Structure 1
Amino acid sequence: MTESIKNEVSSYQLPDKTKVPSSNTMDKDMFMKILIAQLSNQDPTAPMEDKEFISQMAQFSSLEQMQAIGKGMDTMMLNQHAGALLTYSNLIGKAVSYEGETTTTDPTGAEVSSTVKETANVLSVKRDGVDVVAELSNGKSVSVYELTEIKTKEEK
């Protein structure tokens, strides 16, 4: 009796430790492989209940829908950022004002910070992460959300 158990060959193999797993995230392909393995290796005298099977299929369907929503959100965010860049591109060639901070030394030798209104022409507009930044003719980069005034062009 024990001889028949020892001679059976198992199709399961341990994972190769020399290979680095690509990621720890589970995807729908892995879910389907697990489900198929579970169905093919179940005990014929006690098969999986249909409630469990339906529950797992519902989870699989939810996973697919969540992935589709995630892809849609990524696309929407990219379109929104591109739209913001196009919206602020109309600033190129215009004079803008913003509040800059300067540090001066008073007669006692102490440093004093003050806010000064600065004006410069916009040379270009670029996206920096989620922020849109205006490159100015004075060499500074300022977030478009920090601009306080927009004119047609600075007079020299």
Structure 2
Amino acid sequence: MEVNTNYSFSNVYNNSEITSKKQLGKDDFLKLLVAQLKNQNPLNPMDDKEFIAQLAQFSTLEQMQNLNTSFSAVRAINLLGKNIYATVTDNNGESKAVEGKVDAVYKQNEEYFLEVNGIDVPLDAVTAVSE
């Protein structure tokens, strides 16, 4: 019996920009699912139960991401008017402590920022909160 060892790999992400991410998102999951469907063996297609399970996982992932975004918005808005302590990194790469009352909240590039004494503080940089 002869075994075929000639394999060819193609780029699934043709014409797309590859960026460094910390996590896979719903777009990545959908691209993988489409690639799996495109490259399946026509003589042995994907089981319909398996396909439905993957779609359910995709839907669950999307809802979890929506909840995460909502929780971040609520966390940021709840800090309005409160005093916070945070450590932020400036443009020179140096860490600096920021302390003061949150005057405003805004969202930029899917990330929430707090305005404290004219300084933009990422929500995740907050280390303590007081009244």
TM-score (norm: length of structure 2): 0.54
Task: Please point out which of 98, 101, 110 is paired with 1:126.
Answer: 101
Alignment partners' CA distance in 2, 1:30 and 1:38:
12
Give per-residue Cα distances to partners, 1:86-129, cap 9 Å, x unaligned: xxxxxxxxxxxxxxxxxxxxxxxxxxxxxxxxxxxxxxx52583
Mapping of residues 1-150 of structure 1, within 5 Å: 10=8, 12-13=10-11, 21-84=19-82, 126-127=101-102, 129=126, 130-132=128-130, 144=131
> 1:20 offset after TM fit, Å?
8.1
Structure 1 residues not aligned, in runs of 5+: 86-124, 133-143, 145-156
The AA in structure 1 aligned to 2:72 is D
Alignment partners' CA distance in 1, 2:12 and 2:34:
18
Gap change, CA 1:28 and 1:52, over 3 Å in 2 = same
Alignment partners' CA distance in 1, 2:59 and 2:18:
29
Structure 2 residues not aligned, in runs of 5+: 84-99, 103-115, 117-125
Q: Is the 8 A contact 2:26 2:61 kept in 1?
A: yes
Alignment partners' CA distance in 1, 2:57 and 2:36:
15
Gap change, CA 1:83 and 1:68, over 3 Å in 2 = farther
Q: Percent identity?
A: 38
Which ranges of 4 or more aligned residues in structure 1 deviate by more than 4 Å?
none
TM-score (norm: length of structure 1): 0.46
Aligned-residue CA RMSD (Å)? 3.3
> 1:21 offset after TM fit, Å?
4.5
Give per-residue Cα distances to partners, 1:15-55, cap 9 Å, x unaligned: 9xxx9841141011111111011001101111000000000
| Larger Cα-atom Rg | 1
The AA in structure 2 aligned to 1:126 is K
Between structures 1 and 2, the one with greater helix share: 1
Corresponding residue for 2:95?
Answer: none
What is the count of residue pairs matched by the alignment?
85
Q: Is the 8 A contact 2:40 2:46 kept in 1?
A: yes
